[in-house]
Structure 1
């Protein structure tokens, strides 16, 4: 049996005429009304000149003015209009000092809490009313009392409006300063996050380039040692495995030491340069010998030509990673490393035979190509990688890089 769903009360879509008054405004309204009633009870009036002589008539503008005080923050425009009518009505009775003081507060609140347009108009309007009242009374009375009444009018209307404008400007300036501080903190946090991401990417490239070469050689020769039951081959493979494991462990320890001592005052570690390419090529040739790889270095640069340190590091790492990829995937044959320096650029090319090869291979993840492309992009260079025709119905895998070189930086390096 299906039970009927209880009908929930629907929320009312009608908005209240005025928002709920603020607690501070209610306290001000009650205090003003209590003070006015106390003055009225003791018969303390502002003037004896009146239109409505009844004693109770003074309570009407007092009560209305107290009600506007309760709306000074939530409905400042409406409160100002009603308060203006109440102060005019108060002048037609004996008058109450509390009504006058509450009116000045409503004018002040209209400027502070009202809309920007209202905050701009109220000071000009009250200033005009002050000047106009003074001028009319001077023409009418033609004595100094008109100046006194004009000054009192300005104190009750123009002065509170100017005070509210000053307070509002200070609050706007404080809000703007706070917003700028928050934006600055947000930008600093974004910069910090970007710096962390960039540093992590740099560490990943360095770790991959330093260790991948040794681990690839270890993987290939260990596979060969396990698959071939020849003592000489096994001994040669184990020798290569030991050399690469020791070298890889040394590189790993150096990187860990740099990370641990990054905050301490240590001497800068020597970065690899192109002067170490001979040793790198020799090591790659020893590692790739059992797979039928022959590594050749063709360096056509001038011996005295200096290069900036970032360019040398990037070129060295690109050659290192390209030789690692050749050790993993290249078919038996020649692996050629070519370096050439032209006007304003350094060209690095590493090519190897492209195709299947016999014997063990090492799996690749593609991180090496990503790291090389990132290094070249950081220097605004050109990076190309892919198969190209060899001219003998075979293809070669070629990595070609153009790195811009500033001659002035080269002379200083």
Structure 2
């Protein structure tokens, strides 16, 4: 409003200069009377954005008064700003109405001029002049309003895209955190569970000879070293710029190593491979390896003293089945259920099926992982 008021003062001063320079057509009124319509039009400029309809009304009144006395160039020019402000900042439907009104007025003025001057050229000149004075600011205001609406729409669309990008980023971060949690759990839980169970056994029994104690301690050390190596590999993968999955890839074909470590921890594991082993996609290989690893860890912590592992290679599918009896050993070890959740998530990520629950007085974990042959 302050800028509009200053602009109104500037317009009034320019209008006075134009009057002093003779830019008016005098009929009956004195020169000072032309300042009245000029002031009314400038008052409309002062409220052009705060009250656009009032600015339009003041402009119409000023134009009618000025035409009755003259007209004067300064007032006519300022009235065009009143027309622009009314359409630009007023109701949206006002633009169409004003365009029609100014068009009708231009045609009517041309007809009157043609009748008065009895010449078609006078009618054309007056019609064009009135059309330019009245129609140009209206069309300009409508065009600027359309540009403003377009800019607002683009701004809203950009904000929406930014919000969607932020949601995608948050989802990606959450998915990466979940993946890291699964990897850390599956890598560390197996080794730490074996360490906890073996150390508990050594501490709870005092009749073990030195050879058995040494054997258990060697197994504890092996699990500790293996856990540290896998942790270093995970940290190295996180620190490097690009992923090198082959460098840290675990394979279903390496499940025998998991079986050997479980046996060293005191679990009687029987492993059987059905079908011809073959190369699997990296995602399926890692998921299958971690599922077997976590299943053996759970069997070691919460099961009995034995477990059966069956790996089946079928056309377009690899199946993993781990059965173990449910015993009381290791029940004092804490478990938050993250292992089952992680195995299910891994299976879902590769589009497979996962089941875990009681089976024949024991516990069964079964996963069916599709391979590229099925797509």
Shared fold (TM-score, shorter chain, > 0.5)? yes
Structure 2 residue matching 1:340: 3-state secondary structure? strand
Which residue pairs with 2:292 in the alignment?
A: 319
Structure 2 residue matching 1:48: 3-state secondary structure? coil
Choose which of 110, 117, 131 in structure 2 pairs with 1:134: 110
1:246 aligns with 2:246: no
1:89 aligns with 2:65: yes
How does 1:223-372 map onto structure 2 within 5 Å?
223-229=200-206, 230=208, 231-261=210-240, 263=241, 268-287=246-265, 289=266, 293-303=267-277, 305-332=278-305, 334-357=306-329, 362-372=333-343
Question: Structure 2 vs 1, CA of residues 139 and 316 (structure 1 numbering), >3 Å: closer, same or farther?
Answer: farther
Choose which of 199, 203, 215 in structure 1 pairs with 2:180: 203
Contact 1:273 1:316 in 2 (8 A): yes
1:220 aligns with 2:197: yes
Structure 1 residue matching 2:69: 3-state secondary structure? coil
Choose which of 368, 384, 388 in structure 1 pairs with 2:355: 384
Choose which of 12, 19, 22 in structure 2 pairs with 1:44: 22
CA distance in structure 1 between the partners assigned to 2:223 and 2:204 by the alignment = 20
Structure 2 residue matching 1:269: 3-state secondary structure? helix
Contact 2:98 2:138 in 1 (8 A): yes
Contact 2:106 2:126 in 1 (8 A): no
Q: CA deviation at 1:347?
A: 2.4
Q: CA deviation at 1:54?
A: 5.1
Which residue pairs with 2:371 in the alignment?
A: 405
CA distance in structure 2 between the partners assigned to 1:249 and 1:328 by the alignment = 20
CA distance in structure 1 between the partners assigned to 2:316 and 2:243 by the alignment = 36
Structure 1 residue matching 2:247: 3-state secondary structure? coil
CA distance in structure 2 between the partners assigned to 1:145 and 1:227 by the alignment = 118
Paired residues, number:
372
Q: CA deviation at 1:43?
A: 7.5
Contact 2:302 2:331 in 1 (8 A): no
Contact 1:123 1:161 in 2 (8 A): yes
Q: CA deviation at 1:45?
A: 5.2
Q: CA deviation at 1:221?
A: 1.0
CA distance in structure 2 between the partners assigned to 1:98 and 1:272 by the alignment = 85
Choose which of 374, 377, 400 in structure 1 pairs with 2:345: 374
Contact 2:110 2:122 in 1 (8 A): no
Contact 1:228 1:234 in 2 (8 A): no
Q: CA deviation at 1:36?
A: 2.9
- Deviation per CA, 1:78-107: give whole Å up to 9, x if none: 321331232112100133322111111112
- Deviation per CA, 1:237-260: give whole Å up to 9, x if none: 211110100111111111111111
Question: Structure 2 vs 1, CA of residues 381 and 337 (structure 1 numbering), >3 Å: closer, same or farther?
Answer: same
Which residue pairs with 2:90 in the alignment?
A: 114
- Deviation per CA, 1:91-128: give whole Å up to 9, x if none: 00133322111111112222332333223443343234
CA distance in structure 2 between the partners assigned to 1:275 and 1:145 by the alignment = 98
CA distance in structure 2 between the partners assigned to 1:336 and 1:142 by the alignment = 113
- Deviation per CA, 1:332-362: give whole Å up to 9, x if none: 3x311122344543322211112323x6853
CA distance in structure 1 between the partners assigned to 2:333 and 2:23 by the alignment = 102
Q: CA deviation at 1:318?
A: 0.7
Choose which of 40, 44, 53 in structure 2 pairs with 1:68: 44
Gaps of 5+ in 1: 1-21
Contact 2:87 2:141 in 1 (8 A): yes
Which residue pairs with 1:188 in the alignment?
A: 165
More helix by share: 2
CA distance in structure 2 between the partners assigned to 1:225 and 1:190 by the alignment = 51
- Deviation per CA, 1:153-194: give whole Å up to 9, x if none: 122111122222333333333333333333333322222222
Structure 1 residue matching 2:93: 3-state secondary structure? helix
